[in-house]
A and B are shown apart, each in its own frame.
Chain A
Amino acid sequence: MSLARFIERLLQLIPVLLGVSAIVFVMITLTPGDPVEIMIGDQIVTPEQEEALRRDLGLDRPMLERFGLFLGNAVQGDFGESFYHRRPVAEVIAERLPATIELSLVALLVALFTAIPLGVLAAIKKNSIFDRMATVGSLLGVSLPGFWFGILLLMLFAVHLQILPVSGRIGFSSEIEPITHFLLIDTLLRGRPDAFLDALSHIILPAITLGLPMTAILMRVTRTSMLEVLRQDYITFAEAKGLSRHRILWRHALKNALIPTVSVAAIETGSLLGGNMIVETVFGWPGLGRLVVESIFVRNYPLVQAAVLFYAVTYVLLNFIADILYTVLNPRVKL
């Protein structure tokens, strides 16, 4: 990756972030509902007290001034204070972020580790029973409403069979001093395999629910690109070289077939991160998605603004990663 390309990418971030911030601000301006009103709820206050509260939250200033202030502070890494939590937004988001990232990554891994072998096998055994079943499976995967599937899983494994916990990230007998804040990693670093399994048992259902549509998509992409690759001359040539089938498939074919899979996976990871509020709600997962949705409903503007910015940065970053992976897998492309 050349420096120029890197800088170009960074510059690309600017219009995206500005645009996203502007959209958020316009939406906030146009959205009815008053955070102070919500905060007070069913209680009696005098108009003066209400005004004082509004002033404390900085809501008394005109919209444009607030936008400017937000941008100015955000550049310095200050995203303001959450109305609801009365703490810096960055801190509140940072607490919820590891759970969301961990869930997304595990979902991604689940998706990759099931989609790629299944896609490759389906391509190799094209039109076989296995291929048909995998295709039907992947169609089911994209046809199931995620939350419904999640609830069904929950009913089956947590309620009827009672072999997996209903909700949460880890049990209460597993006290783990955080290192990375990713529980699956921390439990291992702390030498607590029992806690690791506990955390794993908590994450498995939400990760499957979240990863299912992606698994289905990746499987289809892998299958299609694998079929495409298997038609290439270099596969015939590799065969003519008398290489083993194993080497032809997993070295010659897969490395090329993975190029579209990896690009799609990197992009889809963005939708995993931005789309898991539903899974988080169903499984009581303490992640950022749920927090953002709750924040919208209580008009906790600073948090919404910062979270959306975070998502936008992640999006650009993931595109960037997709580019890099693309180069790694595909030596023909120079960044």
Chain B
Amino acid sequence: MTAVMREGEAVANTAAAEESIFRRNLHSFAENRLALGSAIVVLLFVLMAIFAPLIAPHDPAETDLFRRLQPPAWMPGGEWSYLLGCDALGRDILSRIIYGARISIFIGAAVVMVATTIGIMAGLAAGYFRGWVDVLISRVVDILLGFPYLIFAIGLMAMMGPGLINIILALVYKEWVIPCRVVRGETLVTRELEYVEAARALGASGKHIMLREILPNILSPVIVVSTIRMAHVIILEASLSFLGLGVQPPTASWGAMVADGRAFILQAWWVSTFPGVAILLLVLAINVASQGLRDAFDPRFHE
């Protein structure tokens, strides 16, 4: 099939050759309806987080012990003004989910941004300079990977105390390794390409070559990988919350809501189920959207 197919494809591809690659990619992403829909879902979640005070029907921290574990509206004992019911302190679960989006998305985005920045720098250095720099960075990566993630995170949180920044640091600790590996691999390939050779021959500095010549050309796989990792980070944060290392009250990440609510699962399933569904939806949407991005922008994944 292949040689035969290639002939056909080669012909077909020339048809689109004039269209700019970017536009074609964007086009093919937009054509992927599932991915587009997911991207819209992610956007809605982000908007929800930004405009939480306008959307949330109640103050997420407002406790009312007489509404303790009040069921969702459609169940006996529920009220329509508390659509998804109340948690153990009588706080409106819907409002807490809306505000919780801020924490979960912020953590996801912050971790991925910091980790990607560190990863890009380390990966560029390792891939460009090679030699001892590469060996050193590879060793560090080995040591970090050899350290079980959750144990390190727990240790770190024990050391520095709980808190948003510390959670982000604990999550960054291992996340940067992934963009680092991607960038290193890409850099190793890219640095041998003609235009980079040319730049080097013209006497461009290492910094210039890395940031101006190599980086722009390897950015797209890195961004794609990073969006996928963001979904992963949101789940990991939930795991930390499960182990009691989540953000401080009264704000709650979704993970913390699921984790705290799990004690009531036999009596009040809604306390942990709705935030769990929120995580699932957002993470799923990010995954689908980023996979669409990958399919569209990374030629190696074209199938």
4 smallest beta-carbon distances between A and B, as pairs: A274-B148, A19-B143, A312-B146, A143-B283
Flag whether B149 is at the interface (Cβ < 8 A): yes
- Tell which of A43-51, A230-238, A321-329 binds the partner: A230-238
List A contacts of B276 (CB < 8 A): 145, 148
Question: Is B258 located at the chain interface by the 8 A CB criterion?
Answer: yes
Interface residues of B in 107-144 (CB under 8 A from A): 139-140, 142-143
Chain B residues with CB under 8 Å of A159's CB are: 266
Return chain B residues, CB-CB under 8 Å to A32: 158-159
Query: Which residues of A lie under 8 Å from residue B259 when comparing CB positions?
Result: 147
Range for the number of chain A residues in contact with chain B: 35 or more
Q: How far is the CA of A19 from the CA of B284 in the complex (A)?
A: 36
In Å, the complex CA distance between A278 and B255 comes to 13
Is A316 in contact with chain B by the CB < 8 A criterion?
A: yes
**B106 is an interface residue with CB less than 8 A from chain A:** no
| Residues of B contacting A12 in the complex (Cβ-Cβ under 8 angstroms) | 142
| A residues at B contact (CB < 8 Å) | 12, 15-17, 19-20, 23-24, 27, 30-33, 126, 139-140, 142-148, 151, 155, 159, 224, 227, 231-233, 235-236, 239, 270-271, 273-275, 277-278, 281, 289, 292-293, 296-297, 304, 307-308, 311-312, 315-316
Q: Is the CB of A147 within 8 A of B242?
A: yes
B151 cross-chain contacts in A, Cβ below 8 A: 274, 277, 292-293, 296, 304, 307-308, 311
What residues of chain A lie closer than 8 Å to B139, measured between beta carbons?
15-16, 19
Contact of B301 among A224, A271, A275 (CB under 8 A): A224
Q: Does B56 contact A (CB under 8 A)?
A: no
- B284 touches which of A140, A296, A308 (Cβ 8 Å): A140
Query: Within 8 Å CB of B145, what residues of A?
Result: 270, 315
The answer for the CA separation of A239 and B3 in the assembled complex, in Å, is 13
- A315 partner residues in chain B, CB cutoff 8 A: 145-146
The reply to whether A235 and B154 contact each other, CB–CB distance below 8 Å, is no
How near does chain A come to B196, taking the closest CB pair, in angstroms?
A: 27
Q: Give the total of B residues in contact with A, Cβ under 8 Å.
A: 46
Which one of A19, A139, A151, A311 contacts B148 once the chains associate, using CB atoms below 8 Å? A311
B interface, by DSSP: helix, strand, loop or mixed? Answer: helix
Cα(A325)–Cα(B14), bound, Å: 41
Q: Are B265 and A151 in contact (CB-based, < 8 A)?
A: yes
| A278–B139 alpha-carbon span in the complex (Å) | 28
Contact B147 A308 (CB under 8 A): yes
B173 to nearest A CB, angstroms?
10
In the bound complex, do residue B2 and residue A293 qualify as a contact, i.e. CB atoms below 8 Å apart? no
Chain A residues contacting B148 (CB-CB under 8 Å) are 271, 273-275, 308, 311
Question: How many angstroms between the C-alpha atoms of A315 and B156 in the bound complex?
Answer: 20
Chain B contacts for A307, CB-based, 8 A: 151
Q: CA A138 – CA B55 in complex, angstroms?
A: 33
Determine the residue in chain A with the shortest Cβ distance to B286.
Answer: A143
State whether A20 touches B143 (Cβ < 8 A): yes
B48, CB-defined interface residue at 8 Å: no
Max chain A Cβ within 10 angstroms of own Cβ: one of B235, B259, B269, B272: B235
Query: Would you call B19 an interface residue if the criterion is a C-beta within 8 Å of the partner chain's C-beta atoms?
Result: no
Q: Which of B228-242 contact A (CB under 8 A)?
A: 231-232, 235, 238-239, 242
> Chain B residues near A151 (CB, 8 Å)?
262, 265, 272
**B265 partner residues in chain A, CB cutoff 8 A:** 151, 155
Q: CB of B1 within 8 A of chain A?
A: yes
Asked whether B2 lies within 8 Å of A23 as measured between CB atoms, the reply is no
Distance of A31 Cα from B235 Cα, bound (Å):
26
B303:A275 contact, CB within 8 angstroms: no
> Closest CB of chain B to A289's CB: distance in Å?
8
Query: Once the chains bind, are B149 and A271 in contact (CB under 8 Å)?
Result: yes
